[in-house]
Structure 1
Amino acid sequence: MFDTQKVSIEWGGKTLTLETGKVARQADGAVIATLGETVVLCAVTAAKTVKEGQDFFPLTVHYQEKFSSSGRIPGGFFKRERGATERETLVSRLIDRPIRPLFPEGFYNEINCIAQVMSYDGENEPDLLAMVAASAAMTLSGVPFMGPIGAARVGYKDGEYQLNPSDAEVATGDLDLMVAATHDAVMMVESEAKELSEDVMLGAVMFAHKASAQVIDAIIQLAEKAAKDPWELKTGTDLSAHKTKLKGLIGKDLAAAYKLTNKAERQNAVNAARTKAREAFEDLKHDNPAEYLGTLKLVKKLEAEIVRGQILNEGVRIDGRDTKTVRPIEAEVHFLPRAHGSALFTRGETQTIATTTLGTRDAEQMIDGLNGLSYQHFMLHYNFPPYSVGEVGRFGAPGRREVGHGKLAWRALHPVLPTKEEFPYTIRVTSDITESNGSSSMATVCGGSLSLMDAGVPLKRPVSGIAMGLILEGDKFAVLSDILGDEDHLGDMDFKVAGTSEGITSLQMDIKIAGITEEIMKVALAQAHEGRAHILGEMAKALGETRTELSAHAPRIETFTIDKSKIREVIGTGGKVIREIVATTGAKVDIDDEGVIKVSSSDSAQIDAAIKWIKGLVEEAEVGKIYDGKVVNIVDFGAFVNFMGGKDGLVHVSEMKNERVEKPTDVVSEGQAVKVKVLEIDPRGKVRLSMRVVDQETGAELEDTRPARQPREGGEGRGDRGPRGDRGEGRGEGRGDRGPRRDGDRNRGPRRDGGDRGPRRERGEGGNGGNGGGNDDGPAPEFAPAFLTGDRD
């Protein structure tokens, strides 16, 4: 039933399989790519006609992660996959960037490329597999795609490159780099690195390029078996005569415009030349709309020729700089008084206000992905309002470009951040672009680094970033440092490098031609190194190192550890105790399974109160130590006092004052704060407290002035009790035979918790010992209740 074609290769110690003909057969091209037990389906469809007036290539890439692929049900109310997540957006861009340049100029048919993760094994990442599947589906579809491309991920650990490392290997290594390439040249690079040298980074790119060639060969093998017939492209109209006319009409105007160093003046002059060209060809607009649109595109080509020729032949750029000079830089920190950290970073006509906000654990970002719930404690958000380029436009939720630029800056700064254990804060950096003519993402890196340092985040080292451009004509090329917006649009490459004085932390490359060579990349990396060093020097003029103190407006976090066996006491039943601590003190309290407790607040008094409370719950009381307490219950014989946050003890009425107290309520009331000394802790954990030996104002210990207890009448004791023997026999000289015990003989009265036992009845005939004669003992002395002192008969 199915005409299935399949190709498999051994790739990095694993089997990569590409299969077509079984699924999604109505698409122009559909491929199932499998690596391990990770499976991605990619389907490509292309419109057979071009919309009227279409003058750009409408390629749309959608990457989707199906929760069922990892046996999970999505969280949230709707329980289904909805709008693209940040990761899905980033992977969609990752696929789009190397594919888009490989379609011929003038091809304007709409194309959809949809890649869906159908199975995920938790080891082989689906983003790489989706790139491979998309390349294969494009190649099979018959559309004029000048591919295929291959892709590879590279890690670096202990001086060795790793092909397609797992997430665990990436986490313990020094590099996570993704490359897409044709057989001849590299098309796209995306990476995060732990301060690696230019040579190591270049070696990683070349290692990935070599590995991607195996994938390209496999796709070609599959295409030889299953590719559809290639589309026939219409021959374009010969516009050479129009181009000659345009050169004579506006050539000098454009050349003069691109010598203006001010962006606004330059744009006005260029727009005037474009208007002049439109007016000259107005008749063509009605007679032949397609030819009219093609002619207007020639204006853009004419601009590119002027700018590129000036750079290659004269070494002079649009704003008068040479190829290596970085525009003037102004940096200012503590730009916003209430922000925890802030910086205004300006490079030429590119500017950002970067802010850093510090939060507690509950401010972490929760991410529901294929691997389950995860939490991100560092976020970077990039915003690009239309006024930053002097335009009127949409303003609202971030688009794909903003998400991508923000992630690039995130990768640049992430390797130099302290660990969560070293700095237990949630960190959010926001970059608001206020001017743009050049790389705003690299301005975000510089401004973000300064704002983090201003906030007191202990970075390993400051990070700077620079965007490099390329002009390539045949064998002649020029690499440009710190490119302008026009140089980006009219050039062949956008090559961004970020890093510290010790090495590269992020590298990203996008090209608009069929790829660049190792030689060009080597020159670009070396030139970028010089530029980054210069920018770091300018940044240091504003702030050379991280501030030693946090902003007064930032929350403080104190961290300490308790025994894991005490966690339950801090949390309480159903969280009752920890909620009470938070509600009463105003501080936030987080505790993990290892007993690590983080207490946070912008008020240090709240932190101290919460810490004292928690330590009181988990620490053991010490005999002889004085504590602050609160009366929680009053009974006839004394008052129960809560101290150390979670412990109760009894202050007997006799321990309230150094004078007789008739009723406990004469001295204390419920809720009253008191100071108590621990007198005794019995084997069952019951605590006996005293107020009378503590100064209730200062908490100082007082001398015990209570009269010492006098010996009982009858001599110095009971004498030698002798051997116990049988109960019927005398226990010593004075006791004599007590006789049989009968109910009611002792009649001690009702026994209350902690109360006095009351007077004792005569015990029968006594001997001639200490209390002989069967005397009634009477009540215990008022300062020494018998049940407390243990000094009873």
Structure 2
Amino acid sequence: MQAVVVEREIGGATLRVETGKLAKQASGAVLVTYEGTAVLTAVTEGPPRGGGDFFPLTVDYRERTYAAGKFPGGFKKREGAPSVKEILTMRLTDRPIRPLFPKSYLNEVQIMSTVLSSDRENDADVLSMIGASAALSIAQLPFHGPIGAVRIGKTEEGLVILPTVSELAESSLDLVVAGSADAVCMIEGFGKEIPEDEMVEAILAAHEQIREIVGLIEELREKTGWKPVEYDESVDTSLYDKILASHKDAIRDAKATEGKLARAAVIDEVLAKVKEELIDPESDDSPTEDDVYNAFHQVERRVVRDRILEGVRPDGRTAEEIRPLYSEVGLLPNVHGSSLFQRGETQSLTVSTLGSVSDEQRVDGLQEEYTKKFMLDYNFPPFSVGECRMIRGPGRREIGHGALAERSLVPVIPPADKFPYTIRLVSEILESNGSSSMASVCAGTLCLMDSGVPIKDPVAGISIGLVKEESGFAILTDIMGDEDHFGDMDFKVAGTQRGITGIQLDLKITGIDEQIIRDTLAMARSARIEILRHMLRTLKRPNKEISPNAPRLYRMKINSEKIGMVIGPGGKHIRALQEETKTDISLEDDGTVTITGLDAAGCDAARDRIEAITEDVKVGKVYKGRVSSITDFGAFIELVPGRDGLCHISELDHGFVSSVTDICKIGDTLEVKVIGIDDHDRVKLSRKVLLKKED
């Protein structure tokens, strides 16, 4: 069994790509290894599905728990539906690859990546992207690659190539870039308010490493004896030419109609006329409805792009003009916070819920399990675009858009010691005509402020588009649906006035150069500042108080050695305390105590009780204690759980006491004062010093 192996040093370690040993019945398969992490990626091709002009490319990425020596969590000890991390990696792999196939190629292609080994420090997601490119590059498919992919981090020492999980925890940047040897074709990154110039520097540094990876894959091609695939990319344009000649002006006029739904209705009328003219049910040579629709769609694309390059956008705006903005907060009466943000015909209603530590999201995967205290979920119902369709759970798009908005807001979320609440935002997209994920960022910021979350800075987001032809290109601020659909780029940028917190580039062309990246980020910053000004006119700063509907939450620190005193035997003390005060109490190993309740009085009572239980007994302090036992020489009184003292019979009263039981019995509550603590930590108490002495 002869394997072909290529290696190259990337980021201080060896990147290894091997083929010819595993999964040999696939169209192309490679094993990509970096340090202790290995990913097997296999590519297969199938016949076209038929109908429409959509390229049926499917990417699947799975993390086998055995790769990290773990069992799957939960009752069933077998991997099931893909996790959020796996879905996001599928999208990350798909996005740079899809545009690199010919427009006319409609065969089904499936890419499957499986993590076979994980050292828990080197993430497998970028290796999956490299593996997909390598497997496609040695398969007999019309793939216009190869491409490479790399992750960049940023520490005090500078940029880090392929940072480990530990390094990312200390990094101000988590940036993934994919591209060919000549251009960048995909970007996804998140940072702690990274200035535009520094972001460009990181992207260019990533591209240098991408060239090395592309060279590695080309070496693999050469060693395997791969030969270019002969594929005829020419298409029959006769139907397109006929529609362009006869209906170009009608389509052009229809595209000038104001309003998304009204514009679509007029376009449908033109399409109906075209079908009536060109389709003859009685003729065997007549084009099909699909043929006419696909050709009409291409003419529509041509018209929209030509108008944009002439300086005329579908809704008449200038290239840098943002659609009308509207926002408000506090819409809903019984939630913890709410906001509405509208940009043109895109509308997000975002609602917040504040909770306790017990509401944090546990995340389990190949790395160590951790919890999230901030979450943002994104919903995209069909009515938001005026459609009827099957309603299922969240799809890959909804998960991806939610993750983009969430991670764009994470850098401004206050740390737990300043705001200990768990925060969940839900963005309900009620209307959509372009960049609803960035609307979710804007609405999310306003909702956090309405909820009383002391965010570091407000965050806004915008999407920048591109139409690029040999004759020139146009960059567009705040793209609407048609500009996204018929354009070449969707470049989303979110951030504060100080810098970028989230960035995502998707292309329909093979790549863009440095100048377009710089121009796009400059336009995005200008638009972002304008949107931030609008948002701050709606709500200048976070509310000082959280909603009265939200739970009260207090955090305190106790001596970790006294956690057992709060919990009590078998949890007896903490259960009783929670029942009495109507609160929820959680304790961490370091002594952090979080108290959550529906009203402040209950939380205050629980806090006072915990302070009393855990504080050190002090000489001179007065306590109300319970008599726990009685002897001939005095009474033992429990001052706090697990801590008692002796009130000698001579200290019970000013007069003579013949028997302790004359003064108290077991279970009585006595007010006593600490008068001493001896070298053996024994507490001496007195009752009589608190009594008024009779003459």
How far is the alpha carbon of 1:78 from its aligned partner? 0.9
Higher mean Cα deviation, 452-461 or 26-35?
Answer: 452-461
Tell me the secondary structure at the aligned position of residue 531 of structure 1. helix
Shift of 1:566: 2.3
Matched, 1:383 2:372: no
Q: CA deviation at 1:629?
A: 3.7
Q: Contact 1:155 / 1:161 at 8 angstroms: preserved in 2?
A: yes
The correspondence for 1:180, drawn from 178, 181, 193, is 178
Which residue does the alignment assign to 1:423? 419
1:716 is matched with none
Shift in Å at residue 528 of structure 1? Answer: 0.9
Please say if 1:523 is aligned against 2:522.
Answer: no
Cα deviation for residue 222 of structure 1 reads: 0.8
Deviation at 1:526, TM superposition (A): 0.9
Asked whether 1:463 is paired with 2:459, we answer yes
Is 1:311 aligned to 2:308, yes or no?
Answer: yes
Q: Secondary structure at the match of 1:287?
A: coil
Residue 453 (structure 1) shift: 1.4
Give the whole-Å Cα distance in 2 for the aligned partners of 1:435 and 1:517: 33
C-alpha distance in 2 between matches for 1:97 and 1:279: 37
CA contact (8 A) 2:565 2:641 kept: no
Paired position in structure 2 for 1:339: 335
Q: Which has the higher contact order (CA 8 A, sep 6+)?
A: 2
| Shift in Å, 1:432 | 0.9
Asked if 2 retains the 8 angstrom alpha-carbon contact of 1:378 and 1:426, the reply is yes
Could you say which residue in structure 2 is the equivalent of 1:251? 248
Q: Please give the alpha-carbon distance, in whole angstroms, between the structure 2 residues aligned to 1:556 and 1:649.
A: 35
From 589, 592, 599, the equivalent of 1:596 is 592
Q: Which of 245, 267, 283 is the equivalent residue of 2:264?
A: 267
Retained in 1: the 8 A contact 2:45–2:108?
Answer: yes
- Residues 1:6 and 2:5 are matched in the alignment: yes
Letter in structure 2 aligned against 1:482: D
Gaps of 5+ in 1: 694-700, 708-793
Matched with 1:370 is 366
Query: After the TM superposition, which of the residue ranges 147-156 and 463-472 deviates more from structure 2?
Result: 147-156
Matches within 5 A, 1:702-781: 702-705=691-694
Q: Distance in 2 between matches of 1:279 and 1:10?
A: 62
Instruction: Provide the rounded CA distance (Å) in 2 between the counterparts of 1:373 and 1:213.
Output: 35
Q: How many residues are aligned here?
A: 695
- Larger radius of gyration between Structure 1 and Structure 2: 1
Map residues 499-514 of structure 1 onto 2, 5 A cutoff.
499-514=495-510
Residue pairs, 1:220-235, within 5 angstroms: 220-226=218-224, 231-233=229-231
- Rounded Cα–Cα distance in structure 2 between residues aligned with 1:372 and 1:539: 38
Counterpart contact for 2:653–2:691, Cα < 8 Å:
no
The percentage of counterpart residues that share the same residue type is 44
Flag the structure with higher strand content: 2
Structure 1 residues 294 and 234, CA, compared in 2 at 3 Å: closer, same or farther? farther
Is 1:165 aligned to residue 163 of structure 2? yes
Structure 1 residue 284: Cα displacement: 6.4
Distance 1:206 1:627 in 2: 68
How many Å separate the matches in 1 of 2:206 and 2:654? Answer: 86
Partners of 1:227 and 1:436 in 2: how far apart?
49
In the TM superposition, what whole-angstrom CA distance separates every residue of 1:484-525 from its partner, at most 9, and x where no partner exists?
011100100000011111111111100001111111111111
The answer to whether the 8 Å contact 1:191/1:411 transfers is no
Give, in angstroms, the shift of residue 17 of structure 1. 1.0
* Letter paired with 1:105: K
Secondary structure of residue in 2 paired with 1:529: helix
More moved, 489-498 vs 596-605 = 596-605
Q: Does 1:23 align with 2:22?
A: yes
Note if contact 1:139-1:227 (Cα within 8 Å) is conserved in structure 2.
Answer: no
Per the alignment, residue 474 of structure 1 pairs with 470
* Offset of residue 479 of structure 1: 0.7
Alignment check: 8 A CA contact 1:614 1:645 kept: no
Task: Return the offset for 1:408.
Answer: 0.8
Distance 1:432 1:631, change over 3 A: farther
Question: RMSD between aligned alpha carbons?
Answer: 2.6
Letter in 2 for 1:250: H
Q: Aligned partners of 1:535 and 1:109: how far apart in 2?
A: 43
Amino acid at match of 1:244: D
1:452 paired with 2:448, answer yes
- Between 497-506 and 49-58, report the one with greater CA deviation: 49-58
Instruction: State the partner residue of 1:91.
Output: 89
1:408 aligns with 2:404: yes
Q: Which amino acid aligns with 1:202?
A: V
Aligned residue in 1 for 2:202 = 204
Distance 1:463 1:289, change over 3 A: farther
The residue correspondences of 1:651-690 to structure 2 (distance < 5 A) are 675-679=671-675, 687=683, 689=685
Distance 2:632 2:334 in 1: 56
Give the match's secondary structure for 2:114. Answer: strand
170-179 vs 664-673, which moves further: 664-673
Conserved? CA contact 1:616–1:646, under 8 Å: no
Cα 1:333–1:673 change in 2 (3 A) is: farther
**Distance in 2 between the 1:666 and 1:555 partners?**
48
Instruction: Say which SS state the counterpart of residue 44 (structure 1) adopts.
Output: strand
Verify: 1:281 aligned to 2:270, yes or no.
Answer: no
The match for 2:351 is 355
Q: Does the CA-based 8 Å contact 1:249-1:277 persist in structure 2?
A: no
Comparing 59-68 and 158-167, the one that deviates more: 158-167
Which range moves more in the overlay, 192-201 or 630-639? 630-639
Amino acid at match of 1:596: T
Paired residues of 2:189 and 2:504 also in contact (CA < 8 A): yes
Measure, in 1, the Cα distance between the counterparts of 2:668 and 2:439.
59
Shift of residue 557, structure 1, vs aligned partner: 2.8
Pick which of 226-235 and 428-437 moved more: 226-235
Q: 1:388 to 1:429 in 2, by over 3 A?
A: same
Letter in 2 for 1:349: E
What is the SS of the residue equivalent to 1:39?
Answer: strand
Assess if the C-alpha contact under 8 Å between 2:153 and 2:160 holds in 1. yes
Partner Cα distance (1:458, 1:296) in 2 = 52
C-alpha deviations, 1:527-548, integer Å up to 9, x for none? 1111001000000011121222
**Partners of 1:656 and 1:690 within 8 A in 2:** yes
SS class of match (2:5) = strand
In structure 2, the CA distance between the partners of 1:434 and 1:235, relative to structure 1 (3 Å rule), is closer
Q: Offset of 1:669 from its aligned partner?
A: 7.9
Contact 1:281 1:292 in 2 (8 A): no
Counterpart check, 1:583 vs 2:579: yes
CA contact (8 A) 1:616 1:647 kept: no
1:219 is displaced (CA, Å) by: 0.7
Asked whether the 8 Å contact 1:54–1:108 carries over to 2, the reply is: no
Q: Which amino acid aligns with 1:117?
A: V
Distance 2:527 2:233 in 1: 45
